[in-house]
Chain A
Amino acid sequence: AQKVTQAQTEISVVEKEDVTLDCVYETRDTTYYLFWYKQPPSGELVFLIRRNSFDEQNEISGRYSWNFQKSTSSFNFTITASQVVDSAVYFCALERSGAGSYQLTFGKGTKLSVIP
């Protein structure tokens, strides 16, 4: 069975601080995909990034960056110079890649509050 753990239930930071959201996953598969989604207070789910298990390169997109470390089964998400608009619940998710297996498993989410 696969599992995604987001140990931080809630985080509060002051605007302009950097913040890292942790994600640790468990899977027996060698091929899998990792995702981050953002859920702002309005409730919709916004796709942020997808990473496959063979690509351990870190990625940066503006103020967002992701650190994938297979050795520690972690896929952490860092927001640099946080802004109030970053306040949301962030979900990490894992999907297996294999015939007949198409389940996307989500972590329980981390609620980020950015205080002005």
Chain B
Amino acid sequence: EAQVTQNPRYLITVTGKKLTVTCSQNMNHEYMSWYRQDPGLGLRQIYYSMNVEVTDKGDVPEGYKVSRKEKRNFPLILESPSPNQTSLYFCASSLSRTPYNEQFFGPGTRLTVL
């Protein structure tokens, strides 16, 4: 089944403890992206990747890192999480980054930073 998977789905952690949220897609998509969703703010893009080893900042990249060493994986790294990073995170992928290709979203990861 074609899908985007994220792990973990739920995570509660403490301030400053490094964490990684994994994202994997099995559709051979070139483009992958991370978003965060906060009440009243909609979804905001954190980082995106056009292809392997190519990443770029979105609207709210501060406090996050990403890497794209393989086509299928695009992990989101929080080196020193803070409470303002408590949010619902979505990973997305598409065949390539033209608007002709819709983005497929993962199920979301709900992160709480205490």
Contacts and interface: CB of A to CB of B under 8 A. Distances in A.
By size class, the interface of chain B is 20 to 34
A64 interface: no
B88 A43 contact: yes
A102 B31 contact: yes
A73 B60 CA distance: 26
A108 B40 CA distance: 6
B58 A45 contact: no
Given A102-B97, A103-B45, A43 B108 contact: yes
A103 B59 contact: yes
Contacts of A95: 99
B103 A44 contact: no
Contact of B103 (A43, A47, A108): A47
Name which of A33, A43, A107 has the most chain B CB atoms within 10 A of its CB: A43
Interface string B45-72: 1001010000000110000000000000
B99 A97 contact: yes
**What are the 8 closest A-B residue pairs judged by CB atoms, nearest first?**
A33-B99, A45-B105, A108-B42, A106-B42, A106-B43, A102-B97, A47-B102, A95-B99
Interface of A: 4, 6, 9, 33, 35, 43-45, 47, 50, 52, 91, 93, 95, 97, 102-109
